[in-house]
Structure 1
Amino acid sequence: MVQANVKVSFYLKKSEADADGMCPVMARLNVGKYSEASFSVKLRVPQAIWSSGRASGKSVKAKEINNRLDEIRAMALGVYAELSAVRDGVTAGDVKSLLLGMAGEQATLLSYFRTFIENFAKRVGVNRTEGSLRSYRNAYNHVERFMREKYNLSDIPFSALTLSFIQDYDSHLRTDCRLSPGTIINLTVQLKIIVGEAVADGIITTYPFTGYEPVRPKQKRRYLTSEELQRLM
């Protein structure tokens, strides 16, 4: 995967300073030359101790602020590295989405999948079956294991779901899990349903399964009986 130049910097949002001169600290993430995203780091810092994107001085407060900024920078760079392991073209918005869990926890695949299962479980015995619930839980476990073993990821934003991801998942089920074509079709269909729900909710607009064709189970060869042969003669 090709990794772009990534930078994380911090600045004060002085337009929102309070009466004591405390300003929100913002992070600016740049990926390459043209992709940029900003977000609040949930800190407020006095303008008087802010210099060159950090808290100045050797006070305990300044050290705490700078340590937190260093943590956020490391997290952002780590998220970018993880997403780049999945696909090319990772944007600053992609990193921001996963880092902050924008649009609620449902903005990421596995958290959305968990919410789907929780809601499904509430309908068991009404218009859903226990067997179907087990199937979705099994499908979730397979996707979770795949991302952990293949990419060392605990979750990904829906924007990182591509045809390449789906094909890699199919390959994992065939080669690593050694599952039959029929089982693989069932697992990918359940993932398709989750993705379809996300599309319906407006979370994603690009359908990652476009162009994906699973291997179909081989049809068993059937031989004509003697009676059938007689009728053909």
Structure 2
Amino acid sequence: MKRSTFRILFYINRNKQKKDGKSPILGRITVDGMHTQFSLQEYIEPELWSAQDNCAIGKNKACKELNLKLEKYRQDLKYHYNKQVEDNAYVTAESLKNTLLGIGTHEVMLLKEFEAHNKEFFQSIGITKVKSTYKSYNTAYNTLRNFIRYKYDMDDIAFNQLSYTFIEEFDFYMRVTLGYKTNTRHGRIRMLKYIVMRAIKKEVIRNNPFADYHVKSSEGERRWLSKEELDLIMQTPIKRIAVNYVRNLFVFAAFTGLAFIDLQTLKWSEIFTDKRGMRWIRKKRSKTGTECIIPLLDIPLQIIKYYKGSAKDGRVFDIGSYSLVLLYMQELRELLNMKTLCFHQSRHTYATTVCLSNGVPIETLCIMMGHRNISTTQIYSKITKNRINEDMQLLEKSIDRKYSLPEQMQHISSVNNNK
């Protein structure tokens, strides 16, 4: 970036002399040809001022003290200029004057902005936001607050003090001190980066101190279920009514791709029948507000038929809190002797095992999942490729030594190897 030009000039206004004959001293700051003036609240006799040297030429104590003040103004302005260039990559004559005079220069603090964001988020719950995400932001806020106290012994930190080192140390703190797993750390970091981007949009800061820090999600454990695992969930007899109900909700989500909050709020008015008699779900996702259009296959149709009339307020299902569902999911996982099982796996399973693995085009899946951008849907395409690799490895093991080339072919191969 081209560095801006910067000048500071001191002069006196000879046209506005006081009764004692002294003239006011003014300062002029010029940045890239644009200038602004300010008063130093100092006065001097015109004959004791040098317009060429921009300073007092008298030898008395008052003139010497004045020149020291002028030099301090120069040094302060140079410091503020360099700092604004470094912090914001942008500086104006007006911003320098305001900083010098202390006008509107209070530092905006990271945690204070984070807290303000969370309060705004809370007010949107049930409209465009969901409570679970609000809880995640609160947890991220608490982790960040504890880190700032631990590392810097401070209650908060200004945006203009943030640097690349800050986010590296935050990641290290979570990884080593707290022992967080990769996905947990990266979730916290993404939220921190969002707060910084929010501050940039509000013009609190102009530079992104974390611009070069790229979060790479680890692949971690597989998040979708295979056909065999889905069959196991569907076919296993379950005596306990509550666990059986949650199992059926999971299966419904695995054949519709609905997230938990969207399943919880699903209403009969969001289910319609087209001219061919095909039934569909048309619903706006709670998380993003985007519309998803989902065909109802035979299995989810059977489930909603079975539970019809069990819920109130026009809802399709009577679903309790997520924490209660988690308990029943844990019981279901233990009953099925599965290593991992969480409700959101149903959505991943719909995208991969149910749709992509059965030839549904990714563009169609994007609409059914309610994704804003097809790049989000393409993540599932990558997962499906990983699954193909896993299946091919299993295939290679299963057919090992079951097939062999004819002896003649083996002979040709050995001859070629001995050349």
Same-fold call, TM cutoff 0.5: yes
SS of the residue 2:157 aligns to: helix
Once residues 105 and 95 of structure 1 are traced to their aligned partners in structure 2, the CA distance between those partners, rounded to angstroms, is: 10
Deviations 1:140-166 (A, max 9, x none): 4374643xxxxxxxxxxxxxxxxxxxx
In percent, how many aligned pairs have the same letter? Answer: 20
Once residues 199 and 88 of structure 2 are traced to their aligned partners in structure 1, the CA distance between those partners, rounded to angstroms, is: 21
Residues 190/3 of structure 1: CA separation in 2 closer, same or farther (3 Å cut): closer
Once residues 30 and 40 of structure 2 are traced to their aligned partners in structure 1, the CA distance between those partners, rounded to angstroms, is: 16
Contact 1:113/1:194 (<8 A) preserved: no
Q: How many aligned positions are there?
A: 188
Counterpart of 1:183 (choices 165, 183, 188) is: 188
Once residues 218 and 61 of structure 1 are traced to their aligned partners in structure 2, the CA distance between those partners, rounded to angstroms, is: 68
Residues 173/114 of structure 1: CA separation in 2 closer, same or farther (3 Å cut): closer
2:91 is the counterpart of 1:93: no
Residues 2/207 of structure 1: CA separation in 2 closer, same or farther (3 Å cut): closer
Alpha-carbon deviation of 1:174? 4.5
Unpaired stretches in structure 2, ≥5 consecutive residues: 124-137, 149-154, 173-184, 235-352, 355-419
Pairwise mapping of residues 32-71 of structure 1 onto structure 2 (< 5 A)?
32=32, 34-52=33-51, 53-71=54-72
Deviations 1:180-219 (A, max 9, x none): 32222232344456567xx4xxxx599878xx89747557
Pairwise mapping of residues 1-233 of structure 1 onto structure 2 (< 5 A)?
1-32=1-32, 34-52=33-51, 53-86=54-87, 88-102=89-103, 104-106=104-106, 111-113=107-109, 138=148, 140-141=156-157, 143=159, 145-146=161-162, 169=163, 171-178=164-171, 180-191=185-196, 199=202, 204=203, 215=215, 217-218=217-218, 220=220, 221-224=222-225, 226-230=228-232
Larger Rg, first or second structure (1 or 2): 2
Deviations 1:3-22 (A, max 9, x none): 34422110123444322223
Once residues 215 and 71 of structure 1 are traced to their aligned partners in structure 2, the CA distance between those partners, rounded to angstroms, is: 44
Letter in 1 for 2:18: D
Contact 2:90/2:206 (<8 A) preserved: no
SS of the residue 1:20 aligns to: coil
Once residues 193 and 78 of structure 1 are traced to their aligned partners in structure 2, the CA distance between those partners, rounded to angstroms, is: 27
Once residues 141 and 205 of structure 1 are traced to their aligned partners in structure 2, the CA distance between those partners, rounded to angstroms, is: 14
Once residues 105 and 115 of structure 1 are traced to their aligned partners in structure 2, the CA distance between those partners, rounded to angstroms, is: 18
Q: Larger relative contact order (C-alpha < 8 A, sep ≥ 6)?
A: 1
Contact 1:182/1:216 (<8 A) preserved: no
Contact 1:2/1:84 (<8 A) preserved: no
Contact 2:110/2:159 (<8 A) preserved: no
Residues 190/41 of structure 1: CA separation in 2 closer, same or farther (3 Å cut): same
Letter in 2 for 1:188: K
Letter in 2 for 1:19: K
Contact 2:89/2:207 (<8 A) preserved: no
Once residues 200 and 216 of structure 2 are traced to their aligned partners in structure 1, the CA distance between those partners, rounded to angstroms, is: 21
Contact 1:80/1:90 (<8 A) preserved: yes
Residues 175/38 of structure 1: CA separation in 2 closer, same or farther (3 Å cut): same
Alpha-carbon deviation of 1:56? 1.7
Per the normalisation by structure 2, the TM-score is 0.36
Alpha-carbon deviation of 1:83? 2.3
Once residues 185 and 17 of structure 1 are traced to their aligned partners in structure 2, the CA distance between those partners, rounded to angstroms, is: 60
SS of the residue 1:79 aligns to: helix
Contact 1:26/1:41 (<8 A) preserved: yes
SS of the residue 1:112 aligns to: coil
Once residues 46 and 115 of structure 1 are traced to their aligned partners in structure 2, the CA distance between those partners, rounded to angstroms, is: 51
Over the aligned positions, Cα root-mean-square deviation in angstroms equals: 4.3
Letter in 1 for 2:35: E
Unpaired stretches in structure 1, ≥5 consecutive residues: 147-168
Once residues 72 and 206 of structure 2 are traced to their aligned partners in structure 1, the CA distance between those partners, rounded to angstroms, is: 34
SS of the residue 1:80 aligns to: helix
Once residues 133 and 17 of structure 1 are traced to their aligned partners in structure 2, the CA distance between those partners, rounded to angstroms, is: 59
Once residues 83 and 60 of structure 2 are traced to their aligned partners in structure 1, the CA distance between those partners, rounded to angstroms, is: 35
Contact 1:182/1:217 (<8 A) preserved: no
